[in-house]
Amino acid sequence: MADSSWDNGGQPMQRKQGMSIWAKVALGCGVLFLLGLGGCVVLGATCAKVVGKTMDGREWVQLKEAVRQLQSDEGAKALYQANPELSQAYLSEENFLQQARLWRPKLEPLPAEMPSIFTGKISYNVSVNGGFRKVELGYTNNRGAAIASRWENGRLQMIAVN
């Protein structure tokens, strides 16, 4: 007759080979975490690339020209006259000229190419609503002056230097 006892007769229990179930669970969670982290990095890089493509540089070229014009009274007058929307921020041409004179010591020519938003020198905000494009573009130059501008459908609405 066969021994029907559950007793192993005092023999030492044999350990299972391989990882425990908890080690397998931890390893699986670690792999999922790394895949998720990698996905976030890829998503972030893709978003940065998309943001870079929406920053087509139109306003940068215009801001560069506006800063160049602010360097003289004649240029500042021409800038004010070419952008009638500036009258909302500056009540008169003379008021705008007074501000431009105060800004001149802080100004320097802008770089030819728009710096990356990751340099910390650029602030860039674009909103498009029903075909209406509004851009807020800021730049901090090497003298520490912060140039702020607002453009609506390619027209300068506001410019200031702090």
39, part of any domain: no
91, part of any domain: yes
142, part of any domain: yes
Answer yes or no: pTM beyond 0.75: no
30, part of any domain: no
* Termini Cα distance of the chain: 100
What's residue 53's pLDDT?
Answer: 47
Instruction: Count the helix, strand and coil residues of the chain and give each as a percent rounded to the nearest 5.
Output: 50, 20, 35
16, part of any domain: no
In 1-32, which positions are buried (b, 16+ CB within 10 angstroms) versus exposed (e)?
A: eeeeeeeeeeeeeeeeeeeeeeeeeeeeeeee
153, part of any domain: yes
* Number of domains present in the structure of the chain: 1
Range of the domain at 107: 57-161
Distances (CA, A) of 82 to 71, 79, 89, 155, 158: 16, 5, 14, 9, 13
118, part of any domain: yes
40, part of any domain: no
pLDDT tens digit sequence for 56-103:
678 899 999 999 999 999 999 999 999 999 999 999 999 999 999 999
